[in-house]
Each structure stands twice: as structure tokens, then as C-alpha cells.
């Protein structure tokens, strides 16, 4: 506030002839703004406007295009495969967010404690995150094999009958979530470790004096104070899980049948296997809206979990 007053006073002190006009000010601003406008316009705005334009056309690569208005969007409402893909996407996303959050929280609590070789074990734990998704997918595909895979062998050691994993419509999504969880739980852990390190020790000391148990301290101190970090992890995981493609495509290609086909995979098939660019664009627009909608919702929830100056989450 005081800076503003000083700036204003300095301006008043200048002679009237030196005052820049609004037009000159704009002219001075544009050279700085223009590069960003060009980059954002060509890299973000233009592709989106073009995608929306394509979604209003019936256009197959190799053929002519014709304006069809909202016909592609109406087609979505009667396309059972799209409906199934939406359900698969939501189920996959919910599972692929909740499991890493729960396991990541547990892992963060474990690795926050001090014990020998903690640094080494932390390093080991985050290694899946560094691996290439397609390489991971190929390894897991072998592990999932009902006859030759190691997972069924491990189950047999504890007397559990062999499972079909990604080779059966009912178990395919949970199995894929297992891979996603294995890879991304370390990311959640890293975010939450940062959160745990930021929590002051005084509330715990007070709680101990008041006779609180471990669970009570976790429930009423750690969890609320970790909430903003959990929300950050949830947002990152949600966006990642929604747009997950590589692992699913490399392991199942959306199968068996269409049992693991998410919107992303369906969109890929429509646009790049069927070359139906118009309809594919309509799916892309709807998918984008879904991602943005969920992200806005999570950002709103994050705002609500922010700490107040008093130290409590609201």
C-alpha cells in the first residue's frame, strides 16, 4: 500500500509533458506481451479452436469434410462404446487415485520415521516412478500371464488358485490399477513426505501432554495438516489417471473386448485407427471438458483444505 502511495507521488511530481499516454503505454507493452500471445495462441488456443471446428464436421482422413453441426456430439449419446469408455475411465480413475493415496500416505508415515538405511530404502521405493511406462507394461504383461506369469506362481505358494488378471473382463481394470499403483505410489509418498516435514512439532507435544494416542494424533493432527498435500497429490493423480494411455494400451489395448477401453483409448482408435477425425475431435472436446471439470472441482476442494493463519484447515 505504501509503495503505491510513493509511486503515485512520484508520478505527480513529473512534468505533464513527460506523462505517457494510454496509447503509448500500450505500444510499449505489446513487444513484451506479443511473444507469449503468439506462443499461447499457436500452441494452445489454435489447436483447441481447430479441434472444436473439426468436431462440427464429418471428416474422415482421405475423404471430404462436411459441416454437420452438433451431430458428432449427438452420436456420442447413442454410442454404447463411448458410454462404456466413460464408465471404465471413471472406475479406473477412482481406483488409481484412491489406492496410491492410501498406500502413499502409509509409505510416507513409514519413511518419515527415523530408522537405519532409511535413505537407501526411500531411493529403492521411488524407483518404479523412474521407469518407462511401456517397459513397465511389457514386464507386467509377462507377470500377468495366466500360465507362465510369476504372479500366479506367487499365489500358488500361499494356496490361492490362479487368476486371469488382465485376461478376463472382470479383473482387467483392477489389474491395470495394480500396475498404476505400483508405479505412482512413490510420487504420492514424496509429496506427503514434504507435507509431514512441514508439520510443526508443537501440536504433537500438546497432544501427548493431553494423553492422546497414536491414532488420535494421526486422525486429529497429522491428517488435517496433511490435507492440502493430499489434495495436491489427488489432483496430480486424478489428471494422470484420467489421461492414462500407455500402460493400458501396451498391456491390453483396451481388451479383453472393450473391458478396459477408456475414453483416451477409444479416442485414439476413432481418430488414428478409424481416421474419423470429426467424431474423434468431438470425443476429445468432451474428454477435455471432463478433465477440466474434475480438476476445477479438486482445486475448489483444495482451497477448502488450505490452512488458515490459525493453523487449522478450513
Partner 1 sequence: MFDSGLTRRSLLTGTLAAGSLGLAGIPLARAEPQWKKFSGSTLEVNLIKSPRGDILQKYEKEFTELTGIKVASEQIPEQQQRQKAVIELTSGKPSFDVVHLSYHVQKRQFEKAKWLADFSAFLKDASLTEATLTESDFSSAGLLYARNQQGEMRSLPFSVDYWIVYWNKELFAKKGLQYPETFDDMVRAAEALTDPKEGIYGFVARGLRNANVPVWTSFLLGHGVDPVDASGNLLTDGPEAIEAAKLYQRLLTKAAPPGVAGFNWSECQSAFLQGKIGMWLDGVGFAPPLEDPTKSRVVGKVGYGVMPRGPKTRASATFGDGIGVTEASQKKEAGYLYCQWAISKLMGGRLLQTGSGVPFRHSVLNDAEIRQGVKMPAAWVDAVAESAKISRLGLPVVIPVTEFRDIIGTGLTATLSGGDPAAEMRKATEQFKPVLERSERA
Q: Which residues bind partner 1 (CB under 8 A)?
A: 58, 60-64, 80, 145-148, 162, 164-169, 172, 252-258, 269, 272-275
CB of 145 to partner 1, least distance (A): 7
Whether the Cβ atoms of residue 247 and residue 179 lie closer than 8 Å to each other: yes
Q: Which is nearer to partner 1, 84 or 240 (CB)?
A: 84
Which of 150, 133, 148, 153 lies closest to 251, judged by CA?
Answer: 133
Cell of 247: 500402460
Whether the Cβ atoms of residue 91 and residue 175 lie closer than 8 Å to each other: no
Q: How many Cβ atoms are within 10 Å of 294's Cβ, its own excluded?
A: 16
Q: Which is nearer to partner 1, 128 or 169 (CB)?
A: 169
How far apart (Å, rounded) are the C-alpha atoms in residues 218 and 206?
13
CB of 91 to partner 1, least distance (A): 18
Q: Which is nearer to partner 1, 107 or 263 (CB)?
A: 263
CB of 150 to partner 1, least distance (A): 14
Q: Which is nearer to partner 1, 174 or 256 (CB)?
A: 256
Distances (CA, A) of 103 to 74, 96, 194, 230: 41, 11, 16, 12
CB of 75 to partner 1, least distance (A): 10
Backbone angles phi, psi at 60, to 5 degrees: -110, 135
CB of 160 to partner 1, least distance (A): 15
Which of 250, 82, 85 lies closest to 166, judged by CA?
Answer: 250
Cell of 164: 486371469
Cell of 295: 480438476
CB of 141 to partner 1, least distance (A): 9
Q: Which is nearer to partner 1, 89 or 252 (CB)?
A: 252
Q: Which is nearer to partner 1, 25 or 168 (CB)?
A: 168
Bond into 250 cis (ω within 30): no
Amino acid at each position: 500500500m505504501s509503495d503505491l502511495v510513493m509511486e503515485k507521488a512520484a508520478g505527480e511530481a513529473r512534468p505533464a509533458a513527460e506523462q505517457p499516454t494510454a496509447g503509448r503505454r500500450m505500444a510499449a507493452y505489446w513487444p513484451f506481451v506479443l511473444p507469449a500471445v503468439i506462443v499461447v495462441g499457436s500452441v494452445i488456443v489454435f489447436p483447441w479452436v481447430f479441434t472444436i471446428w473439426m468436431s462440427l464436421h464429418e471428416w474422415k482422413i482421405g475423404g471430404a469434410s462436411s459441416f454437420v453441426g452438433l451431430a458428432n456430439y449427438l452420436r456420442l449419446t447413442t454410442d454404447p462404446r463411448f458410454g462404456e469408455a466413460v464408465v471404465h475411465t471413471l472406475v479406473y480413475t477412482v481406483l488409481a487415485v484412491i489406492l496410491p493415496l492410501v498406500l502413499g500416505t502409509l509409505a510416507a508415515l513409514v519413511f518419515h520415521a527415523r530408522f537405519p538405511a532409511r535413505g537407501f530404502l526411500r531411493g529403492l521405493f521411488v524407483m518404479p516412478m523412474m521407469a518407462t511406462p511401456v517397459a513397465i507394461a511389457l514386464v507386467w504383461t509377462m507377470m500377468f500371464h495366466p500360465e507362465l506369469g510369476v504372479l500366479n506362481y506367487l499365489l500358488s505358494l500361499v494356496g490361492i488358485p490362479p487368476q486371469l488378471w488382465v485376461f478376463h473382463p472382470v479383473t482387467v481394470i483392477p489389474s491395470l490399477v495394480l500396475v498404476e499403483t505400483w508405479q505412482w505410489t512413490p510420487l504420492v509418498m514424496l509429496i506427503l513426505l514434504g507435507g509431514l516435514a512441514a508439520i510443526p512439532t508443537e501440536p504433537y507435544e500438546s497432544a501427548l501432554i493431553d494423553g492422546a494416542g497414536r491414532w488420535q494424533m494421526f486422525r486429529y493432527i497429522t491428517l488435517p495438516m496433511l490435507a492440502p498435500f493430499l489434495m495436491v497429490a489427488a489432483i496430480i493423480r486424478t489428471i494422470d489417471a484420467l489421461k492414462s494411455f500407455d500402460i493400458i494400451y501396451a498391456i491390453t489395448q483396451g481388451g479383453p473386448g472393450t473391458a478396459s477401453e477408456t475414453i483416451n483409448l477409444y479416442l485414439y482408435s476413432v481418430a488414428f485407427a478409424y481416421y474419423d477425425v470429426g467424431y474423434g475431435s468431438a470425443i476429445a472436446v468432451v474428454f477435455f471438458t471432463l478433465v477440466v471439470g474434475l480438476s476445477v472441482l479438486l482445486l475448489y476442494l483444495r482451497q477448502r483444505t488450505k490452512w488458515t493463519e490459525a493453523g487449522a484447515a478450513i
